[in-house]
Amino acid sequence: MKRQPAKTYYSKVSSPYQWSVGETVGTFFTEMRENGRLLGKRCPACGKVFCPPLDHCEYCFVLMEEWVELPDRGTVRAWSRVEHYYPGMPYDLPFAYALIQIEGADNCMVHVLRFTDLDALEEGAGVKAVWKEPEDRKGDIFDIAHFRLG
């Protein structure tokens, strides 16, 4: 029996959806959009501060209700530099995805580093948020356009 050539079918699947971020993350995003400030939540049992905030401490599993205002600067704990273009890339090169520990927080947030000298980046580097203009903020994590050294 003669084998037929393999065939490929190309298609796109569209699956638009909405996701409720809940009261804690909603408050966090609203504060970012309205006032350009970062908030965290402090655990009443262990005292750890989380930014981005969580409803419950991931160590003690207790409800956290105390909000704390945090600076919009932090420390790079890890990063992955993007070297090549890929479809849907959110920024022009060069940039890096990074785990950033906001000053005063015990966890890290994932965000983007953008500056020209990524070769000089080291673990422990200090970074500062670069906010979008107030009229361009939408109430999501990208109200911080990116972080830069500083």
Q: Which residues bind Zn ion (CB under 5 A)?
A: 43, 45-46, 57, 59-60
Q: What whole-number distance in Å separates Cα of residue 13 and Cα of residue 16?
A: 10
Residue 101 to residue 39: CA distance in whole angstroms: 13
Count CB atoms within 10 A of the CB of residue 30.
Answer: 12
AA identity, residue 45? A
Shortest Å, Cβ 60 to Zn ion: 3
**Shortest CB 133 distance to Zn ion, Å:** 36
- Choose between 21 and 63: whose C-beta lies nearer to Zn ion: 63
Q: Which is nearer to Zn ion, 36 or 104 (CB)?
A: 104
What is the spatial distance between Cα 21 and Cα 28, in angstroms, rounded to a whole number?
10
Least separation in angstroms between CB 42 and Zn ion: 9
Pick 47 or 126: Cβ nearer Zn ion: 47
